[in-house]
Amino acid sequence: MEEKKRTRQPNGASSIYLGTDGKWHGRVTVGVKDDGKPDRRHVERRTQAEVIKGVRELEKQRDAGTVRKPGKPWTVKAWLSHWIENIAKPSVSENAFDGYEVAVRVHLIPGLGAHRLDRLEPEHLERFYRKMQDRGSKAGTAHQAHRTMRTALGEAVRRGHITINPAEIAKAPRLEEEEIEPYTVDEVQRLLLEAAKSPNSARWVIALALGLRQGEALGVKWEDVDLDAGYIRIRKNRLRPRYRHGCGGTCGRKAAGYCPEREQIRREAKPTKSRAGRRTIGLPDELVKLLRKHKEVQDREREEAGEAWQDKGYVFAKPDGEPLIPNTDYHHWKKLLTDAGVRDGRLHDARHTAGTVLLLLGVPDRIVDSIMGWEPGGAARMRARYMHVTDPMLKRVARQVGQALWALGRLNPRRPAEAPSKAPPGPNETETETEDHRGPDRDPVEASVCPGGRVRRIRDSNS
């Protein structure tokens, strides 16, 4: 009997056959290569059932558009290096890039770089996060590494280098939000008294009174301030500086920031990141007076510096006119806390204090959102985060509850059986809705608590 020949499959159709090597093979067309030729993938298994399963799975990936691109597979190190320099750097803000770059360079590449990108599993990530914390990294640092990996792998999925994002499946490191307590009135007063001794005292008043973010406060220029009209415009955000050696590496300093001929490679400021961040805020009269004095001091510094003065227009500047560096500003804040005898805290806690004060004063939500620069979509969440329940608030609520309940008790006492009672009122007498001053020898009355805690007396039940 003549052997039946294997028929040729139509163009683009998958094929399954038994090879001369005794194994089953499958061929699946999944697309077109960069050179225009068909991209056919090969599946090899020991049994026909196994190869059919592999072919069907590859066809599903093709139809869903999740087939990995052809070529040498990426390693985690190669992909992260490509992503941070060529994808993240041109598209994200400088501050966001700094966070990504540290996570990639210090943690992710040393810990996960040897894995093949398409074989990275959620369990690899979870074990890595645990090792980070076992070695002393804080939960926040591990969480930042997770967010960075999730973003980088999400781009790899979008480009077809992997089919799923394991960081979306992996359990993120548990990050407990710390309870932040705003500074008390006494602490704020001590801070302001101590700040008055420094040349940039207005810097700290603005932080505590207006709740400006650090970058916003350091990015304010005099052209943004109208002292006559009493307002300040927030438009720019001061960035952390980045330098490179200008000496060609001959100064002997490892950090470029200490090079005598250093060159700035990052812009000083950028526009605020959102439309809500670009805002105009009214200035209290006391702050207007303080800023006028601050300007007088800066004008004297300008005269003393002479030609060395850098006329960049910043409200808060060094004695030579150069803008304050965020890291230096942070250390000034820490010293201020110590000198004022106030508990240690972040500079951002001054913003929490300002936000809490605005809400406690009953300022309408819309105005609070505008002053604080909160986006409309997340404003309610931010108000909840900044609305701290302080001890005076708790005591005030307890006092209101006590007044309502104990006032009710005084109006409805349980009279002992042997206590004398007064004769009921005559037919022409009625009870008035005035506060009860009759004492324990009077007939019991009914009472109710009105909205707001006000107690209202009702006619005697026996009348």
pLDDT in tens, 26-67: 999 988 877 788 888 899 999 999 999 999 998 888 888 777
Say what the pLDDT of residue 460 is: 41
Q: In this structure, what token pair is assigned to residue 142? A: 């591990």
Number of other residues whose CB lies within 10 A of the CB of residue 179: 6
Do 219 and 334 fall within a single domain? Answer: yes
Say what the pLDDT of residue 156 is: 94
The last residue of a domain, from among 330, 365, 386: 386
Do 202 and 330 fall within a single domain? Answer: yes
DSSP state, residue 21: T
pLDDT in tens, 262-299: 877 778 877 787 777 788 888 888 889 999 999 999 99
Do 292 and 163 fall within a single domain? Answer: no
Do 360 and 326 fall within a single domain? Answer: yes
Give the residue, 199 or 461, on which the prediction is more confident: 199
User: Does residue 241 register a pLDDT over 60?
Assistant: yes
Give the residue, 101 or 416, on which the prediction is more confident: 101
Do 260 and 365 fall within a single domain? Answer: no
The last residue of a domain, from among 7, 37, 64: 64
Give the residue, 35 or 120, on which the prediction is more confident: 120
Do 325 and 212 fall within a single domain? Answer: yes
Q: Length of the chain in residues, anyone?
A: 463
Kindly state whether residue 94 falls inside one of the protein's structural domains: yes
Instruction: Give the residue ranges of DSSP H helices in 41-121.
Output: 48-64, 76-82, 89-91, 94-102, 109-112
Calculate what percentage of the chain has a pLDDT beyond 70: 76
Say what the pLDDT of residue 383 is: 64
Say what the pLDDT of residue 385 is: 60
**3-state DSSP call for residue 314?**
strand
User: pTM of the prediction?
Assistant: 0.61
Kindly state whether residue 9 falls inside one of the protein's structural domains: no
Do 231 and 254 fall within a single domain? Answer: no
Do 213 and 286 fall within a single domain? Answer: yes
Strand partners, 42: 27
DSSP states of 148-191 as a string? HHHHHHHHHHHTTS-SS-HHHHSPPPP-PPPP-PPPPHHHHHHH
Kindly state whether residue 3 falls inside one of the protein's structural domains: no
Do 359 and 405 fall within a single domain? Answer: no
State the virtual CA torsion across 353, 356, 360, 361 in degrees, nearest 10. 70
- Total number of domains constituting the chain: 5
The last residue of a domain, from among 114, 138, 169: 169
Range of the domain at 407: 392-415+428-458
Kindly state whether residue 400 falls inside one of the protein's structural domains: yes
Query: Average model confidence (pLDDT) for the chain?
Result: 80
DSSP states of 271-328 as a string? E-SSTTTSEEEE--HHHHHHHHHHHHHHHHHHHHHGGG-----BSSB-TTSPBPPHHH
Say what the pLDDT of residue 244 is: 80
Q: In this structure, what token pair is assigned to residue 241? A: 């500086």
Do 222 and 320 fall within a single domain? Answer: yes
